Amino acid sequence: MAVDAAVARLGRSTVDLLPDAARPLLDGGVGAGILHLGLGAFHRAHQAVYIEDAIVAAGGDWGIVGVAPRSVDILNALAAQDRLYSVLTVGPGSVRPRTLGVHVDLMHAAADPLAVVARLADPAIRMVTLTVTEKAYRLDPVSGVPRIDDEVRADVVTDRPPRTVPGLLARGLLARAATGAPIAVVSCDNLPSNGRRTRALLEAALAEVPGPAGERARAWLDGAVSFPGTMVDRIVPATTDATRASALRALGVADLVPVAAEPFAQWVVEDEFPGGRPAWEHAGVVLTDDARPWESLKLRTLNGVHSALAYLGALAGVGPIDEVLHLPGIDAFLDRLIGSDIAPTLVPPPGVSVEAYGRTVRERFANPALGYRTLQVAMDGSQKLPQRLIGTLVDRRAAGARPVWGCLVLAAWMRFVRGYADDGTALPLDDPLADRLRGAVSSVDDKPSELAAALFAIDAVFPAELAGDDEVRGLVEHWLTVLARGGVPAVLAEVSS
């Protein structure tokens, strides 16, 4: 959307034009305390809101230094708006706008990584938060073990400006170790045990650093750096022109970087912050000493079901996630997927039932105002499926069960990777392993057993025990056969029969 010259643009000088309920709650006088990496929509509608709410409730210099790792578009737009943007909370027929003003500074890591490294060493910064997506951690997706490849190693052991996220963080921590100031590194990405994995990643990166500087950094990391695990949850679709038009209607001024989000939000955080933290107990954050039961519940149920809807929907030619829920038979399928395959693998947090959680999740997905696209959820499947689905399948097999419905989801992903919807329309494959995945399927003919064999052979996605499991192979081939014969309607008809 171009900015119409006749329409005022959101900024500190135009806040008086906003409806009262949408005026920023902070006036910009807050000091920086958090450096956040990843300025995407999710961060702006999730952590930023909780951080701002805590500052509004109880004060504290916890303003956010927002760092864009690569793309500069959001950063430039935010800068032109005095770092203000709106969050539109959307429900069926309702839009509630709010203007956030918690970002106190902006930086572009790709343009000046060394400035970010220096900022990480600034003792005023007492927390780093991350929304960089699964792939940026460069973990082995199957085992979750860090992979320190040549690029990360060069980032850490040379003086060159770092190019990778692990390299940037490790260099920042190295610089900070020299000051001795404590800090918390908080992953807000959808990875299991995200805190523990981030710690393992940075330990592995710093293990590359030779000499006394390396030794000092490792000892400091051990004693003064925490990696609290978190479960983050809010459905936040990518911003589109429709979001910008809706922001203009709701605000009366133009916002080029608004975010639309569902009413529900949840943040469960392990309460381990050696440099202090915002007063999140006043902002609705659940503080705990172990976030893992929440993480597994959310990853396997919410994200697992989201991916199931994404692949089935994309194959059926459905754009928005909420419309996938209208496919005949989908309810029966989700009941079985959650009840028979997912729930038995989980030990949910006290007082929470997986089935009830699953029902809430389905109601949230049904929100027609969100317009979340199946293709958005479908992207990066090789990085997402291990924690969303494959872990569930492995656990069910270890318990001697046949995960029939989970295997249907796997078959849908395989057919999605093959690249065509049920009606023959080409489907894009947006995935860091796209070349490998497409390469594997391009040479096989359409026989389900060959398609399955080609993809199960990719050890960056499938653990050996699953790839070599004839029972699982048989179930996946069965569903691929039904998909080839009659597409998604045939599969869903068989579920209910």
Q: Is 303 in the site for ligand CS2 (CB under 6 A)?
A: yes
Strands 85-91 and 259-261, how do they pair?
A: parallel
Residue for token digits 């209607």? 249
* Alpha helices, DSSP H, located in 419-463: 434-442, 448-456
Task: Please give the helix or strand (H or E) that residue 381 lies within, else none.
Answer: helix 381-385
Q: Is 52 in the site for ligand CS2 (CB under 6 A)?
A: no
Closest CB to ligand CS2 among residues 227, 267: 267
Contact by Cβ (8 Å): 235, 364: yes
From residue 109, alpha-carbon distances to 66, 136, 405, 413 in Å are 10, 14, 43, 34
Q: For ligand CS2, how many residues bind (rule: CB under 6 A)?
A: 9
Q: Which residue is nearest to ligand CS2 (CB)?
A: 306
Closest CB to ligand CS2 among residues 10, 297: 297
Non-local (6+) Cβ contacts of 30 within 8 A are: 55, 61, 62, 63, 102, 104
Residue 78 is encoded by which pair of tokens? 């935010």
| Of 101-109, 143-151, 228-236, 471-479: span binding ligand CS2 (CB under 6 A) | 228-236
Binders in 431-470 for ligand CS2, by CB under 6 A: none
| Of 7-15, 207-215, 233-241, 274-282: span binding ligand CS2 (CB under 6 A) | 233-241
Contact by Cβ (8 Å): 312, 325: no
Of the residues 377, 407, 441, 452, which one makes contact with ligand CS2 according to CB under 6 A: 377
Q: Is 345 in the site for ligand CS2 (CB under 6 A)?
A: no
DSSP 14: G
Closest CB to ligand CS2 among residues 83, 384: 384
Q: Mind giving me the DSSP string for 53-76?
A: HHHHHH--S-EEEEEESS--HHHH
Q: Is 300 in the site for ligand CS2 (CB under 6 A)?
A: no
Q: Is 306 in the site for ligand CS2 (CB under 6 A)?
A: yes
Smallest separation (angstroms) from ligand CS2 to the CB of 359:
16
Smallest separation (angstroms) from ligand CS2 to the CB of 44:
14
Backbone φ and ψ for 401, nearest 5 degrees, come out as -95, 165
Q: Is 376 in the site for ligand CS2 (CB under 6 A)?
A: yes
Q: Is 44 in the site for ligand CS2 (CB under 6 A)?
A: no
Q: Is 235 in the site for ligand CS2 (CB under 6 A)?
A: yes
Smallest separation (angstroms) from ligand CS2 to the CB of 364:
9
Helix axes 448-456 and 470-496, enclosed angle (nearest 10): 130
Instruction: Quote the Cα angle for 376-319-191, to 5°.
Output: 25
In the complex, the residues that contact ligand CS2 under the rule CB under 6 A are 190, 233-235, 303, 306, 376-377, 384
